[in-house]
Amino acid sequence: MRSDYCGDLGVDDVGRKVTLCGWVARRREHGASLAFVDLRDRSGFVQCVVDGAADLRSEYVVRVTGTVRLRPEGTENPALPTGAVEVGQCTVEVLSAAEPPPFPLSEHVDVDENQRLRYRYLDLRRERLQRNLRLRAAVNSAVRTAMERQGFLELETPLLIASTPEGARDFVVPSRLKPGSFYALPQSPQLFKQLSMVGGLDRYYQIARCLRDEDLRADRQFEFSQLDVEASFVDAVDIRRFVTEAVLAAAETVTGERPSFLPDLTWHEAMERFGSDKPDVRFGMELVELTPLFASTTFNAFRAPCVKAIREPQGAVQRSRKQLDDLVEQAKRWGAKGLVWMRVESDGTVASPVAKFLDESELRGIVEATGAEAGDLVLVVADERPLVRHVLGLLRLNLGRPPVNEGGLHFLWVVDFPLFEGIDPETGGPVPAHHPFTMPHPDDLAGLGGPGEPVPPADVLLGARSQAYDLVLNGWELGSGSVRIHRREVQSRIFELLGIGAEEAQRKFGFLLDAFRYGAPPHAGFAFGIDRLVALLAGEENIREVIAFPKTQSGQDPLTNAPGEIDERQLRELGLRVLPRT
RNA sequence: GGUCCCGUGGUGCAGUUUGGAGUGCACGCCGGCCUGUCAAGCCGGAGGCCGCGGGUUCAAAUCCCGUCGGGACCGCCA
- Whether the CB of A115 is less than 7 Å away from nucleic strand B comes out as yes
CA distance A22 to A38: 10
Write the pLDDT tens digit of every residue in A47-101: 999 988 778 999 999 999 999 999 999 999 999 999 999 999 999 999 999 999 9
- Report how far residue A4's alpha carbon sits from residue A501's, in angstroms, rounded to the nearest whole number: 66
Q: What is the pLDDT confidence band of residue A426, given thresholds at 50, 70 and 90?
A: confident
Q: Which residue is nearest to nucleotide B33 (CA to C1')?
A: A31
For strand B, is any atom closer than 7 Å to the CB of A67?
no
* A210-217 CB contacts, 8 Å cutoff, 24+ apart: A210/A186, A211/A171, A211/A185, A211/A186, A211/A187, A212/A167, A212/A168, A212/A169, A212/A171, A212/A187, A213/A168, A213/A169, A213/A170, A213/A171, A214/A168, A214/A169, A215/A553, A216/A551, A216/A552, A216/A553, A216/A554, A216/A555, A217/A553
What letter would DSSP give residue A543? G
Which runs of E-coded beta strand occur in A121-165?
153-154
Quick check: helix, strand or coil at residue A540? coil
Determine the average pLDDT of the residues in A517-521.
95
Q: Does domain A6-96 have CATH number 2.40.30.10?
A: no
Strand B at less than 7 A from CB of A154: no
* DSSP reduced 3-state for A115: helix
pLDDT at A520: 96
Instruction: Detail the DSSP E strand segments found in A468-570.
Output: 468-473, 476-483, 523-529
Distance A19 CA to B9 C1' (A): 40
Distance A373 CA to B3 C1' (A): 33
How does strand A430-432 pair with strand A172-174?
A: unpaired
Task: Tell me what pLDDT residue A547 has.
Answer: 98
- Per-domain boundaries in chain A: 6-96, 128-258+532-541+550-569, 284-400, 418-465+487-520
Q: How far apart are CA A431 and CA A411, in angstroms?
A: 29
Position A110 confidence tier, pLDDT thresholds 50, 70, 90: confident
CA–CA gap between residue A131 and residue A539 (Å, rounded): 11
The residues with which A343 forms a beta bridge, in sequence order, are A351, A377
The helix-helix angle for A127-149 and A530-538 (nearest 10°) equals 130
A284-400 homologous superfamily: GAD-like domain (3.30.1360.30)
Task: Confirm whether any atom of chain B, the nucleic acid strand, is less than 7 Å from CB of A273.
Answer: no
A427, pLDDT greater than 80: no
Q: Which of A144-158, A376-390, A506-520 has the weakest average pLDDT?
A: A506-520
Which segment of A192-196, A215-219, A447-451 scores lowest on mean pLDDT?
A447-451
Which of the pair, A427 or A538, is modelled with greater confidence? A538
Residue A109, pLDDT score:
83
Q: Tell me the mean pLDDT in the region A409-415.
A: 97
- What band does A508 get if pLDDT is binned at 50, 70 and 90? confident
Peptide bond into A563 cis (omega under 30): yes
Of the candidates A355, A208, A212, A379, the one whose C-alpha atom is nearest the C-alpha of residue A290 is A379
**How confident is the prediction for chain A on average, in pLDDT?**
94
- CA-nearest of A481, A460, A429, A389 to A205 is A481
pLDDT at A164: 80
CATH architecture of A128-258+532-541+550-569: 2-Layer Sandwich (3.30)
What's the pLDDT score for residue A323?
A: 84
Q: Which residues of A spanning 77-96 put their CB closer than 7 angstroms to strand B?
A: 77, 79-80, 83, 86, 88
ipTM entry:
0.93
Label residue A581 by pLDDT band (50, 70, 90). low
Helix A190-198 to helix A502-516 angle (10° resolution) is: 50
Instruction: Quote the CA–CA distance of A422 and A462 in Å, as a whole number.
Output: 7
Q: Is the CB of A432 under 7 A from strand B?
A: yes
pLDDT digits (tens, 9 = 90+) for A157-176: 999 999 887 789 999 999 99
Q: What's the rounded mean pLDDT across residues A298-303?
A: 94
Q: Spell out where A97-146 has E strands.
A: none
pLDDT at residue number A136 = 98
Indicate if the pLDDT at residue A31 is higher than 90.
no
